[in-house]
Amino acid sequence: MDKNRRTAGIDVLVVSGMLGLSYAAVPLYETFCRVTGWGGTTQQTAAFSDTVLDRKITVRFDASTAKGMPWSFKPLQVSQTVHIGESGLAFYEATNTTNEPIVGTASFNVQPAKTGVYFMKVECFCFQEQLLKPGESMKMPVTYYIDPEMVKNDRLDEVREITLSYTFYRNEVAEQRMRTASLQ
């Protein structure tokens, strides 16, 4: 009997540990991606670069919406050419094409993915949820620069162009929170 209880206890501990790790996996992965730039994850910073280099790079802008997201979403410029270290300002536009308020959350990355750790965003609409009322359009800015440290990485010598991509997803949890708050 003691052997069965011990085995059951070990099983409960293993299942509990696996469950705990599954809940921790997403935040840990997101932290890893932000720190390392893995998968083209860009970096967030509070300050602009104090160094601007002669080397230029072209930043291309891309936009899409996830399945079930009833917005039109597009960049307002195709590309910008900036000096590495120089701040850039780009705008995206989203329009809610429904007759109900919709909350969206934007995910982002850059290509080539190996440049993610050097793509620094100072301000971005992607840092917060966005609420658009029925038929409402909004121009949303992103302020960025390419970290001058990039030129020290020999693997990036051939990079002359970076694509910044955003995908908007419907945030039904935030919509429900908004509806609940309006009832109180």
- Burial profile 37-54: b = 16 or more Cβ within 10 angstroms, e = fewer: beebbbbeeeeebeeeee
Which amino acid belongs to residue 5?
R
Query: For the chain, what are the domain ranges?
Result: 1-36, 39-183
Query: What CATH architecture applies to the domain 39-183?
Result: Sandwich (2.60)
How would residue 35 be classed by pLDDT, with cut points 50, 70 and 90? very low
**Which of the residue ranges 34-43, 93-102, 146-155, 163-172 would you say has the lowest mean pLDDT?**
34-43
SS3 106: strand
